[in-house]
Amino acid sequence: MTIRALVVDDSAAIRAVLTRILSADPEIEVVGQAPEPNTAREMIKTLRPDVITLDVEMPGMDGLSFLERIMRLRPMPVVMCSTLTARGAAVTIEALRLGAVDCIAKPSGSAEELARDGALLRAKVKAAARSAVRPGGPVRTATPITGGRAREDALIAIGSSTGGVEALFSLLGAMPADCPPILIVQHMPGAFTGSFAERLNRDCRINVEEARDGAPIVAGTAYIAPGGERHMELAGTTGSVIRLRTGDLVSGHRPSVDVLFHSVASRRGAAAVGAILTGMGSDGAEGLLAMRQAGARTLGQSRESCVVYGMPRAAMELGAVEKETSLSAMPEAILAACGMRQAKVGA
């Protein structure tokens, strides 16, 4: 079935580039172009697109306000196209929290870079068309958990991709301030991971920061792998230090969830808990299996609560997932697996 796409951007040049990129795929048809939200609103009514690519900042009504209206009145898959600026990154993170399926940097640069960005955009639009978009705005943060104490050597490793920003706001928002350290690989352009960590840090009781090479891991802190250039893994004799290293793509990604999970399996073994969240593809499946074979507890997000049931499905089919759970139940399940069996749901 052909995917019907609507391109919304105030720049005629960008609209032309995006249209050309998407139209290069026979499975995608660009049914319209809109320079601003009011025109886009009428086009949505008449053209009934399957997916929208939406500019973050536009005159009249900005992209966030328009996205909120879409998700409230006619929920549909939206891929945000952002400029690589601090302002653009911050707004994009908010858009993903509000329900946009994915984000991409506006294509630019050399022919090689345009070809690479174009292939990524087409893949994201196709994944968005298959995604499960929920009405009513962002996923509610899971109920905060208090009480209990995890094993001193416990460590949590999480991998996510499409839909993962929403999921991580919900999951990390429920974590107690003294939870075990958390290492996270979320597939996201490098220009956005710093803003993502900063926003999570403002919203959560735990500390959240973009990971730094050589940083010691401590309880009550979540570390987001920087996007784009290096893999994140555990290092040190006791597996208590973060190492960021260069390397080829693994499972199609850098940073790769598989790289993180394999390092956790080898250095923390049965003391670790692994969780694979919503996302397209199979990154993390083999690494989560290695964790399970090393004695770690392993969890997968349920199909019903995923935006894209790709990564959890691949891990489940490989036998890497010990138990599937809904996103709302995931924080308590993770903490219970860390030994916090007296954790309480409450304020």
Per-residue 3-state assignment (H helix, E strand, C coil) for the chain: CCEEEEEECCCHHHHHHHHHHHHCCCCEEEEEEECCHHHHHHHHHHHCCCEEEEECCCCCCCHHHHHHHHHHHCCCCEEEEECCCHHHHHHHHHHHHHCCCEEEECCCCCHHHHHHHHHHHHHHHHHHHCCCCCCCCCCCCCCCEECCCCCCCCEEEEEECCCHHHHHHHHHHCCCCCCCCEEEEECCCHHHHHHHHHHHHHHCCCEEEECCCCCECCCCEEEECCCCCCEEEEECCCCCEEEEECCCCECCECCCHHHHHHHHHHHCHHHEEEEECCECCCCCHHHHHHHHHCCCEEEEECHHHCCCECHHHHHHHHCCCCEEECCCCHHHHHHHHCCCCCCEECC
Question: Is 187 among the catalytic positions?
Answer: yes
Question: Is 253 among the catalytic positions?
Answer: no
Looking at 131, 263, 283, 305, which residue is catalytic? 283
Looking at 82, 131, 160, 161, which residue is catalytic? 161
Question: Is 160 among the catalytic positions?
Answer: no
Looking at 102, 187, 231, 256, which residue is catalytic? 187
Residues noted as catalytic: 161, 187, 283
